[in-house]
Structures are given as structure tokens and as C-alpha cells.
Amino acid sequence: MKKPDISIIIPCYNDGTFIEDAVRIIFEYTGKLQLEVIIINDGSTDKRTIDIIADLQNKYPLIIINQENKKMSAARNAGIRAASAPLFIPLDADDILNVEFIDKAFELISKDVKTGVVYGNCEYFGEKSGIELKHFNEYSQLYLNGINITTLVRKAVWEQCGGFDEKMIEGYEDWEFWVHAMKQNWKFEKVDIAAFKYRIKKQSTNVDAINKHQQLLSYIQTKHLDFFNKNYINLNRELHEVKNNRKKLIHYLIRNLLGKAN
């Protein structure tokens, strides 16, 4: 069997209600790339979820990793560690990957070895619907997480960053990972389509993380204090340079305050 081009990493904790749809859509992909699907059963206690995961293993050629509950970062790390492909896509068990994103993101990341992450827009469904346009920017990313976790990532980025921070069990582990990748000088590029469908539920890890925003952001800033200081200095210098230059000022406003780089 040909070595996979992309590994799709799906942590699951008691999300059996949704994971079957997530997996089914992936196996409807008809492109030329070889995909590897890895589900990490992160200590699920719900019998229905356990049964569904076992049934999926019988239906599809995928890899199942069973472990005790270690939370999202550790589950993703376990899956990526076991992945055979040089690229991976993290996908939450209750979300739906847009299979059109796969080929477009692969084409873009293949153009430049310095590109470590390719992202897209986000389509909401569930308790909320609509498209959210995503924009990565090296300055605004320091105070606002501009992209979601479902992206195409080089495994080399994950290796250089030491994986997802397993101390971050309350959320924002993806934000910390992006900051760490920036620190390692990896480039971020965008495919201007929805990368995935994001399920909005009344209660989720993201909702919990927002409630602890300042605490989690302070952890990220402290961990990468040298990087934050360097970029704040660069941002202040750039602001000073554009004050008396109208053209530069307009460019600055678009690039930084609106958070648009690509």
C-alpha cells in the first residue's frame, strides 16, 4: 500500500453521536491523495461511543488508538506520533472536514518547503450557521487567535514545537501551537474556502476556554515571552514609522488592526 500523503487525526471523547458522520465524509473523498485516518479514543466512558468506534474500525480502513483520558493535546499528540504521513489535519470528532480543502491545501503547501500551515475559512452549523472568514497575521495573532485547529500542517512543525502543550487541558492549545510555529519561522498560507464545518454546541471546550481567556493567554505569553517582546517591539517600531506616511499608515491598518495578511 502506498505511503499516505496526509494523516487525519481525530481525538474522540464520548462523541460517538457525531464521529460517524465525520469519518464517513472523509472516506467519500475521491481525490488522488492517499489519506490515513487515525481515531484516538481518549478514554471514552460512553458505551455508545465505544461501540460506534469499534463499528467504524470494521467498516473502514482506519487506525484506532485507545488510551486513558489525557485530554485534547495528549490525544492529538498520540495520533500524530503514530501518523505515517509527512502532513496531518487535526479534526475534532464533532466537526466535518470539507474534502475539497484537502487537495487545495496540499497543492499550496507543496509549493514552498517553508510553508508549515495551510488554513481556510470556517463554516458554522448547529446552534449557529454561517461562514467566518479567517485571516492569519503575525501581529494580531499575539492577542487574537485568527485560525482554527482544522488545517493542513507539516509533521516537521509539530516535531519542532514539541507537539501540542499537554499542560493546556482547558483550551487554547491550538493558539499556543500557532505561536510556537511562528516562533520557529514557519509560514502560514490560506486557501480561500471553508476548511471544515464547525459544530456549535451550547457547551464545549472552546466555551470553557473563553471563560478563562486571560488565564490561558497569560500562560501562552509567559511561555513565549521572548517572542512576544520581540514582536511588540517590532510592532511599535512599525507604528512609529507609519505615523507620518499616509500610504504606510493605510497598509498598517489593513495588515494589523484588521488582522489581514493573507
Residue 70 has, within 13 A of its CA and on its CB side, a CA count of 18
| Distance separating alpha carbons of residues 152 and 212, to the nearest angstrom | 27
Classify the C-alpha dihedral 40-120-23-200 as positive or negative.
Answer: positive
Confidence class for position 247, pLDDT limits 50, 70, 90: low
Which position has the higher pLDDT, 232 or 33?
33
CA dihedral 157, 161, 164, 166 (to 10 degrees): 160
Which position has the higher pLDDT, 87 or 126?
87
Question: What value does the mean pLDDT take over residues 136-151?
Answer: 88
Amino acid 226: pLDDT: 86
Amino acid 212: pLDDT: 82
Burial of 160 (0-12, 13-18, 19+ CB in 10 A): middle
Q: In the beta sheet, which residues pair with residue 190? A: 119
Tell me what percent of the residues of the chain surpass a pLDDT of 70: 84
Question: What value does the mean pLDDT take over residues 182-205?
Answer: 87
Per-residue pLDDT for 67 more than 90? yes
User: pTM for this one?
Assistant: 0.85
Burial of 78 (0-12, 13-18, 19+ CB in 10 A): buried
C-alpha radius of gyration, the chain, whole number: 19
Question: What value does the mean pLDDT take over residues 4-24?
Answer: 95
13, 19, 2, 63: which is closest to 38 by C-alpha? 63
Largest CA distance in the chain: 66
Are 57 and 19 a contacting pair, CB within 8 Å?
no
DSSP state of 88: E
Amino acid 206: pLDDT: 56
Phi/psi region, residue 182 (left: phi>0; alpha: psi -120 to 50; beta: rest), is alpha
Residue type, 4: P
Q: What cell was used for 17?
A: 453521536
Which residues neighbour 138 within 8 Å (Cβ) at sequence distance 6 or greater? Answer: 182, 231, 261
Amino acid 138: pLDDT: 81
Are 89 and 153 a contacting pair, CB within 8 Å?
yes
Per the prediction, the chain carries an average pLDDT of 87
Following DSSP, what letter does each residue of 182-211 receive, concatenated?
Answer: HHTT-EEEEEEEEEEEEEE-SS-HHHHHHH
Cα 185 to Cα 24, 116, 153, 188, 229: the distances in Å are 36, 9, 14, 10, 16
Confidence class for position 242, pLDDT limits 50, 70, 90: very low
Domain 6-223 bears CATH identifier 3.40.50.1100? no
Lowest model confidence (mean pLDDT) among 65-79, 121-135, 137-151, 205-219: 205-219
Confidence class for position 203, pLDDT limits 50, 70, 90: low
Are 23 and 97 a contacting pair, CB within 8 Å?
no
Amino acid 245: pLDDT: 54
DSSP state of 141: G
Q: Where are the domains of the chain?
A: 6-223
Are 42 and 19 a contacting pair, CB within 8 Å?
no
Cβ of 159: how many Cβ atoms within 10 Å? 11
SS3 115: strand
